[in-house]
Structure formats: C-alpha cells, structure tokens
C-alpha cells in the first residue's frame, strides 16, 4: 500500500511524492499562527486520498481569540466556507490518522444551522463520523466528547455576544479546549486554500441521548443533594441552557421560576441572562426566591443574585466556593486560580484564610491551564466562569450553580451571608469600542498616564488596560480603596484612549 508526500513547487502549489505506506503533508504559512511554521501531518493512505493546499504569501489576521473563533455571522471569519474548512482542518490536526468521530453542538442563534452545515460538510468530506447533538450547553459538549470516545468536538456559539454574532469553540478528545499550538496549526490551514477529500464519505448520527447523559453527570456532581424547599429563579438567557438548566434544578427538588426559556433565534442574551442579572434579581424579589441563577448564551458561566435580588459579584462567588471547598477538605494545594481581572478584595479574604491566589491571564482556557499546571481543584473568572476540575473540563454555569447550592445547604447559611465574607475594593470596568488594536506600548500618552497611576496607587489600588480577545473593544479596569480616586482615573484613561484610539 503506497503513500504520498506533498511538497511545494516554485509556483506555490503542491506535488505528490511516493514515500511508502504513509504520506506527510507539510505546509509553510507566513503571518498565520507561528510565522513560517511547518505543520507536519501524518496519515495512513486509506484515511485521506487528496488534500489541495496552496501557500499564500503575506497572509494577515488571527482567527482564534481568547475563546475560539468569533465574529459577526456570515461575515469573515464566521462563514459557512470557513466552517467547512474548519471541519477539514480538525481532522487533519486532531484525527491522528484514524477515522475521526467529531461531535457538533450549538446554541440557539439563528445562524447556528448554517455553521453546522458547513462544519459537517468539511468533516464528511474527510470521511468522519459526525455526531450531531443539537442545542446543548458548551460544557455538555466538553463532557460528551470524552464520554463518547470522540476525536474532537466543536461548539457553535458566541457565548454572551448578541445574536448577530456566532463562533466556533473546539475541544480535544480529552474534553479540554485546544492548546495554543493546536489552534495555530488549525489556523495555519484555515488561512490557506484547503480542500479535503476522502475516498469514503462520512456519515451523520443524531444523538439526542447526549442531553440525558449530561443531566445525569451534572446531578452526580453534587451526590445526594436535595434542594427541596429552595426557591430558585433560573434565567437561561434564551440560550443553550434554556431546557436543561431549569430541568436539573427541578429534578433535584427545587421550586424553579423560569426566565428567558423561549429562544427564537434572535433573543439570546437580549436583556436577560448573565449579562443582565438584575432581571433575575427582580424576579427573586417578586417571588420571594432564595437566589437567582443567570446563565450566558452557551451556559458556561453563571451570575448569582441573592435573596434581596442583589447581584453577587463573581469574585465573591469565587471566595465562597474556595472557602466551602477548603472546609470540605477538597481544596487541593490550598490555592485557587483567578485572573488578572479579579478584585484585590479576593486576595485579602483568601490570604486571611490561608489560601493562595494564583493569577492567570483572562480566559477560562488559561485559567484551566494554570489549574492543571499547579495541580489545583478550583479556579475561575469574575465574569462568571467557575471551574471545578473534579467534575468538569471547562467552565460550567449549571454545574457551578449546583455546587453553590450544595454549599448553601451544607452550611445552612444564605447566599447573601456567604458572599458577605469578602469586601470588594471600589472599582470600575469600562468596555470602550476601538477602530483598531494598536500596540498599547505605542500609545505614548496612555503609557505616561500608566506610569503616573503606578506611582500614585502604590499598594492601595491597581489598574488594568487590555484589548478584548473576542470583540473590537478595549477594557479599562481601575480599583482603589478610595472611590474618588477610581472615578478620577477611569475618566483620565477614558479620555486618553479616546484621543489616541478614537
């Protein structure tokens, strides 16, 4: 059985060269991922009969942000054509020379079916078995890819973004999001001309049982927890958790008041869910509920409201979960991971409890990487991503809410009382639109302001300025013990950014 090696001619096309039982594909991409990197892929000949690739000089643009590929639906890069190429590239990079089995899930956006069709076309052209899961939360997809022994999975979602946007999150067969290196290899292929073809067409299998498997796993994460007598408002944000979210709490005995559980393709995250937790807070007050649970569009993060309908900050939830895990003897390493966005008040309350706070860059994937690197059990982001490593391979809004309910039940204390252990420094976070993302170090006025703030704040506060990894925005955070200082400096930074970035 012969194989082929593909090599580049002077014209930039590929030629085939016999090398025995296997063949290699080597592609050099400039300006994509690792500049000039060589991606080597090895397959058995009976896996792939032909792949057409063309090198493009001076290719610009990065597709992967902090959480997959994301943008306005039906505009580059979130198009059916790129989705097709993604299907091909996933098999090339993650297939390992075997017949690939790839799961596909999506949230409730109207553009989801378009992207689903594109990804499936690419996968099927490579002979893959496609397992279509339908509308399910992102963490359900991450759980199922490992449980079903699949090669990889792709979740079609733009998380908390408005319905006009969509995106693609990829998970490996171990249930974790891809490494930077894997994303760069896939991105390199996507930025080239990539056309896959296999002698044997793939097949599609619908798997509605996936929801039942996820429900069982989420409930198992809290053992014999009985939520009888607990009143919970569940705001599903008209997103991927609209069906499974309320159901799980009901099956554990809670009295559930449902909100935003009637998706129409366009109302995902619209004045509801994790971006608008005051909506759930209002219903908490109206119904006399014990707490509110607000999920984002793909249900991988959660924001809570207490019995007064007041929003509990993400950092307060991190703190109460860390203390709960420590009390139960389950906080491995006596440390947690938070991001650079977490409030200084978290460090204070954790320090008082003898718990170390390790910081990562923004993004639940980076939080997870640091948790695994340090052998810890828990971490998260103040935006609502909570990662309980013993139960999940990604942020999971529903599972996290169950863990919080378990702490409430076992401590016999209200959410308001639990959250009160942490006092937050006054802070303000701005998300400012920008026309371009020039290097911050090239903005002379902003750099001068940063130096001035550093000298003034000392140990009394901090500031953080960074570009969004998923949107054309710059994020400005100012924290200080004195609210007046926060107000003054948030205004200074805002004005300077407007002058230098428009």
CATH number of 3-207: 3.40.120.10
- Lowest mean per-residue pLDDT among 5-14, 127-136, 181-190, 427-436: 5-14
> By the 8 A CB rule, do 452 and 485 touch?
no
pLDDT confidence of residue 194? 72
Token couple for 208: 């509605």
Token couple for 258: 């449902």
For 125-152, the DSSP string reads: HTTPEEEEEEE--HHHHHHHHHHTT-SE
Residues catalogued as catalytic: 159
pLDDT confidence of residue 61? 52
Provide the pLDDT confidence category of residue 198 given band limits of 50, 70 and 90. low
Residue 1 has pLDDT above 70, yes or no: no
Considering the chain, what is the average pLDDT of its residues? 88
CATH fold match for the domains 3-207 and 213-419: yes
Residue 129 has pLDDT above 90, yes or no: yes
Sorted by where each begins, the domain ranges of the chain are: 3-207, 213-419, 427-501
> By the 8 A CB rule, do 248 and 215 touch?
yes
- Lowest mean per-residue pLDDT among 29-33, 130-134, 208-212: 29-33
What percent of the chain is modeled with pLDDT above 70? 87
Provide the pLDDT confidence category of residue 53 given band limits of 50, 70 and 90. very low
pLDDT confidence of residue 8? 31
pLDDT confidence of residue 275? 96
Provide the pLDDT confidence category of residue 85 given band limits of 50, 70 and 90. very high
Q: Answer left, alpha or beta for residue 57, where phi above 0 means left and psi between -120 and 50 means alpha.
A: beta
Residue 2 has pLDDT above 70, yes or no: no
| Alpha carbon distance 354, 363 (integer Å) | 26
| Alpha carbon distance 339, 327 (integer Å) | 23
pLDDT confidence of residue 367? 96
Higher pLDDT, 181 or 25: 181
pLDDT tens digits for range 212-254: 999 999 999 999 999 999 999 999 999 999 999 999 999 999 9
pLDDT confidence of residue 45? 32
Token look-up 């809670």 returns 254
Domain 427-501 homologous superfamily, CATH: Alpha-D-phosphohexomutase, C-terminal domain (3.30.310.50)
pLDDT tens digits for range 257-278: 999 999 999 999 999 999 999 9
Provide the pLDDT confidence category of residue 99 given band limits of 50, 70 and 90. confident
Of 397, 368, 359, residue with least CA distance to 275: 397
Average pLDDT over residues 421-428: 94
Phi, psi for residue 174 in degrees, rounded to 5: -90, 0
Residues 453-462: contacts with CB within 8 Å, 24+ apart?
453/489, 456/485, 457/485, 460/485, 461/344, 461/425, 461/485, 461/486, 462/344
> By the 8 A CB rule, do 430 and 476 touch?
yes
Q: Which distant-in-sequence residues (6+ apart) come within 8 Å of 237 by Cβ?
A: 260, 268, 269, 272, 273, 274, 275, 294, 295, 296, 297, 299
Q: Is 451 helix (H, G, I), strand (E, B) or coil?
A: helix
pLDDT tens digits for range 300-326: 999 999 999 999 999 999 999 999 999
Provide the pLDDT confidence category of residue 196 given band limits of 50, 70 and 90. low
pLDDT confidence of residue 256? 98
For 241-290, the DSSP string reads: TTTHHHHHHHHTT-EEEEES----SS-TTSS-GGG-HHHHHHHHHHHT-S
pLDDT tens digits for range 390-414: 999 999 999 999 999 999 999 999 9
| Alpha carbon distance 328, 482 (integer Å) | 36
pLDDT confidence of residue 471? 82
Residue 502 has pLDDT above 50, yes or no: yes
pLDDT tens digits for range 151-177: 999 999 999 999 999 999 999 999 999
CATH number of 213-419: 3.40.120.10
């Amino acid at each position: 059985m012969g194989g082929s090696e593909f090599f580049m001619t002077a014209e930039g096309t590929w030629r085939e060269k016999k090398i025995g039982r296997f063949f290699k594909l080597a592609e050099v991409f400039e300006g994509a991922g690792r500049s000039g990197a060589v991606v080597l892929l090895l397959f058995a000949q009976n896996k792939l009969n032909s792949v057409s690739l063309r090198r493009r000089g001076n290719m610009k643009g990065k597709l992967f942000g902090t959480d997959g590929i994301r943008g306005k639906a039906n505009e580059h890069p979130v198009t059916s054509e790129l989705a097709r190429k993604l299907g091909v590239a996933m098999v090339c990079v993650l297939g390992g020379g075997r017949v690939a089995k790839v799961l596909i899930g999506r949230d409730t956006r109207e553009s989801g079916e378009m992207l689903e069709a594109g990804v499936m076309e690419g996968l099927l052209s490579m002979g893959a078995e496609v397992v279509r899961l339908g509308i399910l939360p992102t963490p359900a997809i991450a759980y199922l890819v490992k449980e079903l022994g699949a090669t990889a999975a792709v979740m079609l979602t733009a998380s908390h973004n408005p319905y006009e946007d969509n995106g693609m999150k990829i998970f490996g067969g171990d249930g974790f999001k891809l490494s930077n290196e894997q994303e760069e290899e896939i991105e390199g292929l996507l930025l080239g001309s990539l056309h896959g073809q296999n002698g044997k067409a793939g097949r599609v299998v619908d798997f509605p049982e996936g929801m039942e498997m996820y429900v069982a796993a989420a409930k198992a994460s809290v053992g014999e927890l009985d939520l009888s007598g607990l009143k919970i408002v569940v705001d599903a944000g008209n997103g991927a958790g609209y069906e499974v979210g309320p159901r799980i709490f009901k099956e554990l005995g809670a009295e559930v008041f449902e909100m935003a559980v009637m998706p129409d393709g366009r109302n995902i995250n619209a004045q509801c869910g994790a971006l608008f937790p005051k909506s759930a807070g209002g219903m908490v007050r109206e119904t006399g509920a014990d707490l509110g649970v607000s999920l984002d569009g793909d249900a991988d993060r959660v924001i809570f409201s207490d019995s007064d309908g007041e929003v509990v900050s993400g950092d307060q939830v991190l703190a109460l979960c860390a203390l709960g895990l420590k009390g139960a003897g389950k906080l491995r390493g006596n440390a947690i991971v938070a991001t650079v966005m977490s409030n200084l008040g978290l460090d204070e309350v954790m320090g008082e409890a003898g718990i170390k706070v390790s910081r990562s860059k923004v993004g639940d994937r980076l939080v997870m990487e640091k948790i695994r690197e340090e052998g810890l059990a828990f971490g998260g982001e103040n935006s609502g991503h909570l990662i309980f490593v013993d139960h999940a391979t990604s942020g999971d809004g529903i599972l996290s809410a169950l863990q919080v309910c378990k702490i409430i039940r076992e401590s016999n204390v209200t959410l308001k009382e639990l959250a009160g252990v942490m006092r937050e420094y006054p802070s303000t976070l701005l998300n400012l639109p920008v026309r371009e993302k020039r290097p911050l170090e090239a903005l002379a006025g902003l750099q001068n302001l940063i130096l001035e703030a550093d000298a003034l704040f000392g140990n009394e506060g901090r500031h953080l300025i960074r570009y969004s990894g998923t949107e054309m925005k710059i994020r400005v955070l100012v924290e200080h013990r004195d609210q007046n200082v926060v107000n003054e400096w948030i205004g200074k930074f805002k004005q300077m950014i407007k002058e230098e970035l428009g």
